[in-house]
Each structure stands twice: as structure tokens, then as C-alpha cells.
Amino acid sequence: MSPPLTKICGLSTPDSVGAATKLGADYVGFVHFPKSPRHISLEQAAALAAHRGRAESVVLLVNPDMALVDQALATVQPAILQLHGDETPLFLGEIARRHDVKLWKALPVRTRADLAAANAYRGLVERIIFDAKPPPGAQIPGGNGVRFDWELLRDAKLGFAWGLSGGLDPANVAEALRITRAPLLDISSGIEDAPGQKNVDKMASFLNAVRTS
């Protein structure tokens, strides 16, 4: 079984991007969503992507219109566009027709029935990211440090590429892998000192825990 892939999301400084790459992360993620404490401009994301080394860059948008999608892809030129809102399969299909970019779609999960929503995106996206549903009153759809019941994914035979997000940290990632066997782990708040402030030591601990689990 191949080791799981890792994505460090919500990066906002050259040092944090460089550290993620040096420590072996497979993907580095940049959030363009003004309500998020991890929000950066597209121009900043483009500059940071230059420090990504061997890692692939991911731009995360939430409920964008097509004009913003066009702008983000032209400015940052990421390998992957991750949609983290209520984007429909129809909208993702239109992106795929307009752009040669890999698409990831994040889906909120609380119950087993929520997993079934992924079927609507089959053939449209490269990967589904299962994230916890945000708590009531949350201003952002992800990065809230909340996990869902990982048992929902135990022995899941999904038939498509996917990843696990939501509430991961260096202390619990081994448990997450033991239960879910997730092929990709996507972390943001679990390696921060404060929202948007990445801690390199926590990042190193997380990536080491993934490798040794």
C-alpha cells in the first residue's frame, strides 16, 4: 500500500511554504476567500507558489463565479483548483470545459448519507476531500479544527480518489489513518499557533507521524 499523500493548506509566507516543501509535503494550498483568516490575494499566492519546490500548488476558492475562477487560474497557474463551497457538478463541468486544470471538490460530512453526495461529481473531479461540516455560526466552510466520525470511512469502498480533512493534528493523524486508510491527508488549523499562523515544528511532527503510521 502506497504511503498517503499530504497537503498543507492555508500557507501564507515564503518560510512556511519552503518548510512544507522541505519536510516533504506533496501539495501546498493557498486560500483565496476573504472571510478566512488564511486568505491571501491571488498575487500573493502566485509569489508563494514559486517557493513550492517539488510540491504541487493548490488554490482553494469558495463559491466563486467563473470570472474569479478564470482570474485565479491565470494569475497563480496552480496544478489543482479546490472548490470548497456549494459548487454544483454543472459548475465544475463548465470549469473543466474551459480550463486544463485538475479539480478537487471538498464535501462536508456529518453522517454516512453525506458521503453519497460525492457520486454526483464522479468523472468531473480528480479527488473528493471529505471535511467536517462547519459548526453553527462558522464563517468558513473548512479550517475550523472540527473532525467528523472517521468510522464512517472505515472499510469504505468509494471507487474514486479522495482525501481526509477536518480536525487533523500531529497527535491524532495515526488514529485517522488506522481507521480510514485515507490516501490523502489535508491539514491546516491543526499545525497552527493561531488562525493563519503555521508552526513549522507542528508541521514536521504531522508529516513525520504520517510517514511512521
pLDDT score for 143: 55
Cβ–Cβ < 8 Å for 199, 189: no
Q: What is the pTM of this model?
A: 0.93
Q: Is the dihedral of CA 134, 192, 84, 152 positive or negative?
A: negative
Give CA–CA dist 192/19, Å, rounded. 14
pLDDT score for 185: 98
pLDDT score for 133: 83
pLDDT score for 74: 98
Sequence spans of domains, the chain: 5-212
Task: Encode the chain (213 residues) as per-residue pLDDT tens digits.
Answer: 678 999 999 999 999 999 999 999 999 999 999 999 999 999 999 999 999 999 999 999 999 999 999 999 999 999 999 999 999 999 999 999 999 999 999 999 999 889 999 999 999 999 999 999 876 656 566 555 679 999 999 988 888 999 999 999 999 999 999 999 999 999 999 999 998 899 999 999 999 999 998
Could you tell me which CATH number the domain at 5-212 has?
3.20.20.70
168: three-class secondary structure by DSSP: coil
